[in-house]
Amino acid sequence: MSSSNAALWGSQYRLIAAENWKAKSAVMGGAVTEALVEYSQPIEGMAVLDLASGTGEPAISLAGRVGQEGSVVAVDQSSELLEVAAERARQRKLANLVTRQADAHKLPFPEHSFDLATCRFGVMFFADALGALTELRRVLKPGARACFAAWGPVEQPYWQTTMKVVQRHVGGAMLAEGGADPFRFSQPGSLSNALRSAGFQEVEESTRNLPWTWLGDAEEVFEYACMLSVPFRPMLERVPEQMWPAIRAEARTVIEGYRVGNEIRFGADIVLASGRA
């Protein structure tokens, strides 16, 4: 990811960090965070590296699990995201979590520094996945696990009721050719293959359907999706102003189809994969 792209991601996340989205965003992503933390099997005393940590998860959850004898380094290219993560850690009095602005392709750590690595919704966006994964393996202790969560296919409720609706109206590609692709590892086995190519052993992968729930109305879900979806920015910028009312109306209708009481329950197909250094 280039520095200009890092700035773009940071600017988008400043909006997410606003008070009116914090709680609902945390609930929506909470099940994925919990699943990745459980999958990574942290134990007290571990030194953990969380790549593409963004606004702090799963780094914060992991810091609570490894205890004061352990440590978590939250790494991201965006200083704006890391400021939010650091503040959240301070609020929770997590003295064992530190943030570090760095590029996943060139990590500023010695070889064999970490007992565990995690990455939630980040591996898909590494410009050179093989290079970044090889670099990650370098800083892991022999036998240490690297655990990843990535999006499954675009053909699932959250994306079909948001970005797919926009595409039906505006036409053209949903994602820019050669640009960031959230679904880069949605094909079964593709993330496993990348891990093996980078030298990881005992590679495993599964796709799970996890809760992906919004506590609020359909209009909010759509606004949140547009605000968060940096990879879709080129498509969103193609939408003529007069087209937005029809897009919003259709999105609201299809999103409401997933309402259960005061919750909108999409569910999400998520790829979980791991390998040992």
Mean pLDDT of 40-56: 95
- By the 8 A CB rule, do 256 and 250 touch? no
pLDDT of 270 strictly over 80:
yes
Which of 164, 143, 168, 167 minimizes the C-alpha distance to 153? 164
- How far apart CA 59 and CA 195 sit, in angstroms, is 21
Q: For 177-207, what is each residue's pLDDT tens digit?
A: 888 899 999 999 999 999 999 999 999 999 9
Q: Which of 15, 100, 17 is nearest to 55 (CA)?
A: 17
pLDDT band at 86 (very low <50, low <70, confident <90, very high): very high
Q: What pLDDT shows up at residue 96?
A: 97
Q: Give the pLDDT confidence score for residue 23 in this predicted structure.
A: 77
Q: Where are the alpha helices (DSSP H) in the chain?
A: 3-16, 19-40, 59-66, 79-91, 129-139, 157-160, 163-170, 190-197, 218-228, 233-237, 244-256
Mean pLDDT estimate for the chain: 92
Q: Give every CB contact of residue 244 below 8 A, 6+ residues apart in sequence.
A: none
Q: Looking at residue 27, what is its pLDDT? A: 86
pTM: 0.91
pLDDT band, very low/low/confident/very high, at 19 (cuts 50, 70, 90)? low
Classify burial at 262, counting beta carbons within 10 Å of its beta carbon; exposed 0-12, middle 13-18, buried 19 or more. Answer: exposed
Q: Quick: pLDDT tens for 222-254.
A: 998 988 778 999 999 999 999 999 999 999 999
User: What is the pLDDT, as a whole number, of residue 179?
Assistant: 87
pLDDT for the residue numbered 26: 81
- In a 3-state reduction of DSSP, which class is residue 26? helix
| Contact between 36 and 116 (Cβ < 8 Å) | no
Q: What is residue 227's predicted lDDT score, i.e. its pLDDT?
A: 82
Q: Across-strand partners of 271?
A: 150, 207
- Any residues with CB less than 8 A from the CB of 186 and at least 6 apart, and which? 150, 151, 152, 153, 154, 271
The mean pLDDT of 84-98, rounded to a whole number, is 94
In one-letter notation, the amino acid at residue 55 is T
Prior bond of 58 cis (ω within 30°): yes
| 90 CB-contact burial (10 Å; exposed 0-12 / middle 13-18 / buried 19+) | exposed
What is the structure's pLDDT at 272?
98
Nearest to 103 by CA among 197, 200, 6: 6
- Where residue 2 falls among pLDDT bands split at 50, 70, 90? very low
Complete domains list, the chain, with CATH: 3-276 (3.40.50.150)
